[in-house]
């Protein structure tokens, strides 16, 4: 039993790399000192569809410091997509500058390489393009006729929804809209690439090292073993850095062409146009229930867009398949190819947006049924995943709702909308449930033990990344636990493709995968040492194990992966969010007064970093409601929100106190350590919770995000609200 707070998991210790970060010693991709570095600046198209008919690079090439201008005319020939478009956006290639065709506004059409960043940037503005322009598909409504069923099969049904609706005492049919959003991690996407005789070394801000390595290799058609990608620190990603984007390829290409290392940083403005987006979703919900509140039907149809050259589908309906018990269920997704860049996974892709629709619809149903929204959800709980008929490995959704309601003071909620006042404000309470798949993937790690005097020091190596989530800390805590040495004696080295392979950070699989991988390596090391020494770790301690084996150093590797039990179950994290909002009676302004997020996500490795994940999710979820949206210019197809001055993320004043409760939960089916994902659970329940609170405050049902003052002031009360 570890009583020392510095040993093992479960303790709220500070981040082990925190000191490096606050001292500026943690190096991010563009901060490495590489000799003889040149700088590249991407050039963006200024039309949404058409063909480049002429390029004049002469003025740019004349400028001081300019080394080379790259366009489709002199770019390296890269591996192309198969003939038939759109390609799946998760495919491992990222061709760029391969033709004169332009598919969306802001697409890379060129690159300037210069001695300094400023020279590259200025020269990039001097390259002149002439286009033959075509009418782009940039309007959501007029693209409807082009909607198709995505290649990635995501339609689902059980029972008969129309029959379920016919049997219902109360039904609902509504459409919920979420806009285009952007990830905008704090650290800009960046790469420093060096091409040396067919070998590539790249410092790149990526969430998944192995994917970046593969993308570079496949796009340039070189061996993967000749590519090394390094990312010890990543300043956030939210999904935008899951897969290598075109700038990664451009950076490598630039280095190949000039024979020098090249740094390429994506500007904040280019973060809108060149690092993907969360797609706009139009979600039609149909719900039926008996008067006692039992659901008879749930249907969820999502219409969204993809690019004309790649396909990506945010699966909004996932949550509707599994969260509540209903015999009749239908989920569809349709995509429209449009002249916008390819959407991609953004924090809780599908869940964050899909839950807004589902959990808003559930709230609307509860109101129609005259039931408490908490009771209505509790009534429709299921311990078996209805979409797969597999039991949940653990599911405490009802506990999240009930404990949350008690701790939040839910009984103070006004029974009738618009009846609780504070001066010029109307007060409302909202609730939403949440679920997020808790995946766990094959992960390897290497452990190096060194005996110095009477202490053992451990180094763990894996190609995992820390995107601000706390990977370094929880891996160190895990190794500390399984080796029974203080966290301070564990050194964690991450983010290098030379290290053992992991699935990287994303999809809420990081903590479970990394920790179990580290555990496996530690367990292998201990097993070998115990065998060699004939001693037991628990009795003798690690130092004695090594000494008696006459070992000053020892190395071991280990791999963890999902077992049969895991595959027989449906493994999800669950949660609930409670929000109090104050809505101004006249001006369209609302304030989030307080928020409680209850989470059941297995073992909490570090309450401090897990808390950070949840409150970060709450703020991002609040952003979905307050103002975050990327607007497409209706005539030209560019984004009119193009900087942080127009793309409004929440500020401190927008947020209130956020409390987080982690329910104790042991789930050894999820994985040996009982860890379920935290990273995306936090955001999932927030948008509906706030919108439901606004309804409770005002009687106005807000079905289009974000809920801006403009929309709120124009909205009418729901029919039937006094």
The number of CA neighbours under 13 Å toward the Cβ of 96 is 26
265 binds other proteins (CB under 8 A): no
Count residues binding other proteins (CB under 8 A). Answer: 37
Rule CB under 8 A: choose which of 588, 593, 607, 659 binds other proteins: 588
Q: Are 512 and 670 in contact (CB under 8 A)?
A: yes
Rule CB under 8 A: choose which of 200, 331, 627, 683 binds other proteins: 627
Q: How many Å apart are CA 720 and CA 722, to the nearest integer? A: 6
Which part of the chain contacts other proteins (CB under 8 A), choosing from 114-122, 148-156, 377-385, 690-698?
114-122
Tokens of 142: 């007029």
Residue identified by tokens 């509504």 is 174
538 binds other proteins (CB under 8 A): no
Which part of the chain contacts other proteins (CB under 8 A), choosing from 116-124, 217-225, 272-280, 540-548?
116-124
Helix residue spans in 382-444 (DSSP H) = 397-408
Cis omega (within 30 of 0) on the bond before 86? yes
> Between residues 415 and 652, which has the closer beta carbon with respect to other proteins?
652
Which residues are within 8 A (CB) of 180 and not within 5 positions of it... i.e. 6 or more apart? 277, 278, 279, 280, 340, 343, 629, 630, 631, 632
418 binds other proteins (CB under 8 A): no
> Between residues 429 and 590, which has the closer beta carbon with respect to other proteins?
590
SS3 annotation, 188-200? CCEEEEEEECCEE
Torsion of CA 69, 75, 81, 84, to 10 degrees: 80
Q: Number of helices and strands (H, E) in the chain?
A: 20, 28
Instruction: List, by residue number, the catalytic residues.
Output: 680
650 binds other proteins (CB under 8 A): yes
Rule CB under 8 A: choose which of 31, 561, 633, 659 binds other proteins: 633
CB of 269 to other proteins, least distance (A): 8
710 binds other proteins (CB under 8 A): yes
Rule CB under 8 A: choose which of 654, 659, 704, 718 binds other proteins: 654
54 binds other proteins (CB under 8 A): no
CB of 709 to other proteins, least distance (A): 5
**Window 118 to 137, contacts with other proteins (CB under 8 A):** 118, 121-122, 125
391 binds other proteins (CB under 8 A): no
Q: Are 617 and 638 in contact (CB under 8 A)?
A: no
> Between residues 388 and 424, which has the closer beta carbon with respect to other proteins?
424
**Window 677 to 706, contacts with other proteins (CB under 8 A):** 706
84 binds other proteins (CB under 8 A): no
Rule CB under 8 A: choose which of 151, 424, 552, 553 binds other proteins: 424
1 binds other proteins (CB under 8 A): no
The helix (run of H) or strand (run of E) holding residue 443 is strand 443-452
642 binds other proteins (CB under 8 A): yes
Q: How many Å apart are CA 631 and CA 637, to the nearest integer? A: 9
645 binds other proteins (CB under 8 A): yes
631 binds other proteins (CB under 8 A): yes
139 binds other proteins (CB under 8 A): no
For residues 320 to 349, the per-residue mask of contacts with other proteins, x marking binding by CB under 8 A and - elsewhere, is ------------------------------
Cis omega (within 30 of 0) on the bond before 20? no
Which residues are within 8 A (CB) of 430 and not within 5 positions of it... i.e. 6 or more apart? 363, 578, 579, 580, 581, 688, 689, 690, 691, 692, 693, 694, 695, 696
Q: How many Å apart are CA 490 and CA 268, to the nearest integer? A: 37
Chain residues in the site for other proteins (CB under 8 A): 46, 118, 121-122, 125, 424, 586-589, 591, 626-627, 631, 633-636, 638, 640-643, 645-646, 648, 650-654, 706, 708-710, 713-714
């Amino acid at each position: 039993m570890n009583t020392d707070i510095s040993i093992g998991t479960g303790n709220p210790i500070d981040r082990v790399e925190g000191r490096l970060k606050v001292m500026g010693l943690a190096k991010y991709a563009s901060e490495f000192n590489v000799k003889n570095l040149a700088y590249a600046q991407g050039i963006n198209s200024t039309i949404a569809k058409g063909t480049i008919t002429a390029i004049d690079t002469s003025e740019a090439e004349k400028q001081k410091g300019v080394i080379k201008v790259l366009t489709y005319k002199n770019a390296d020939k890269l591996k192309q997509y198969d003939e038939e478009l759109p390609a799946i956006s998760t495919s491992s290639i990222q061709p760029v500058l391969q033709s004169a065709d332009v598919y969306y506004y802001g697409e890379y059409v060129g690159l300037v390489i210069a001695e300094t960043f400023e020279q590259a940037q200025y020269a990039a503005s001097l390259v002149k393009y002439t286009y033959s322009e075509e009418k782009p598909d940039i309007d959501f409504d007029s693209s409807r006729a082009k909607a198709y069923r995505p290649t990635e099969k995501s339609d689902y049904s059980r029972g008969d929804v129309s029959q379920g609706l016919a049997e219902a005492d109360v039904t609902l049919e509504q459409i919920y809209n979420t806009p285009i959003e952007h990830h905008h991690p704090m650290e800009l996407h960046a790469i420093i690439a060096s091409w040396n005789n067919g070998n590539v070394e790249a410092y790149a801000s990526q969430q998944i090292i192995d994917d970046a390595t593969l993308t570079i290799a496949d796009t340039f058609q070189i061996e993967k073993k000749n590519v090394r990608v390094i990312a010890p620190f990543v300043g956030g990603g939210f999904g935008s850095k899951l897969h290598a984007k075109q700038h990664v390829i451009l950076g490598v290409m630039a280095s190949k062409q000039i024979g020098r290392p090249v740094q390429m940083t994506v500007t904040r403005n280019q973060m809108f146009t060149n690092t993907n987006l969360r797609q706009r979703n139009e979600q039609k919900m149909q719900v039926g229930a008996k008067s006692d509140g039992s659901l008879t039907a749930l249907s969820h149809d999502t219409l969204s867009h993809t690019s004309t050259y790649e396909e990506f589908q945010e699966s909004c309906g996932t949550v509707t398949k599994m969260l509540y018990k209903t015999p009749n269920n239908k989920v569809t997704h349709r995509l429209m190819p449009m002249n916008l860049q390819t959407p991609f996974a953004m924090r809780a892709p599908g869940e964050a947006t899909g839950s807004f629709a589902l959990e808003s619809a559930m709230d609307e149903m509860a109101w129609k049924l005259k039931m408490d929204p908490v009771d209505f959800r509790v009534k429709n709980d299921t311990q078996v995943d209805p979409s797969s008929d597999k039991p949940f490995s653990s599911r405490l959704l009802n506990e999240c709702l009930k404990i949350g309601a008690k701790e939040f003071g839910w009984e103070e909620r006004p029974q009738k909308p618009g009846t609780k006042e504070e001066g010029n404000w109307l007060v409302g309470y909202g609730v939403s449930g949440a679920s997020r798949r808790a995946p766990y993937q094959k992960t390897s790690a290497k452990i190096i033990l060194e005996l110095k005097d009477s202490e053992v020091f451990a180094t763990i190596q894996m190609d995992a990344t820390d995107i601000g989530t706390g990977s370094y800390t929880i891996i160190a805590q895990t190794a500390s636990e399984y080796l029974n040495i203080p966290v301070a004696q564990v050194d964690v080295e991450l983010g290098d493709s030379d290290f053992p392979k992991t699935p990287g950070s994303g999809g809420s699989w990081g903590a479970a995968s990394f920790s179990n991988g580290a555990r496996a390596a530690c367990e292998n090391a201990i097993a070998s040492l115990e065998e060699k020494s004939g001693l037991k770790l628990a009795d003798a301690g690690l130092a004695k194990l090594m000494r008696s084996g006459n070992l000053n150093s020892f190395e071991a590797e280990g791999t963890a992966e999902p077992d049969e039990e895991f595959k027989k179950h449906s493994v999800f994290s669950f949660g609930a969010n409670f929000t109090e909002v104050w809505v101004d009676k006249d001006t369209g302004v609302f304030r989030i007064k307080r928020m409680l997020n209850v989470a059941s996500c297995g073992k909490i490795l570090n309450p401090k970093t897990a808390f950070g994940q949840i409150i970060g999710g709450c703020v991002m979820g609040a952003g979905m409601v307050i103002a975050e949206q990327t607007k497409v210019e209706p005539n030209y197809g560019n984004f009119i929100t193009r900087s942080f001055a127009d793309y409004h993320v929440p500020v401190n004043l927008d947020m209130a106190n956020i409390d987080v409760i982690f329910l104790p939960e042991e789930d050894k089916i999820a994985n040996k350590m009982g860890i379920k994902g935290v990273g995306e659970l936090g955001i999932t329940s927030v948008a509906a919770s706030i919108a439901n609170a606004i309804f409770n405050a005002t009687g106005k049902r807000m079905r289009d995000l974000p809920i801006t003052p403009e929309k709120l002031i124009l909205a009418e009360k729901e029919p039937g609200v006094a």
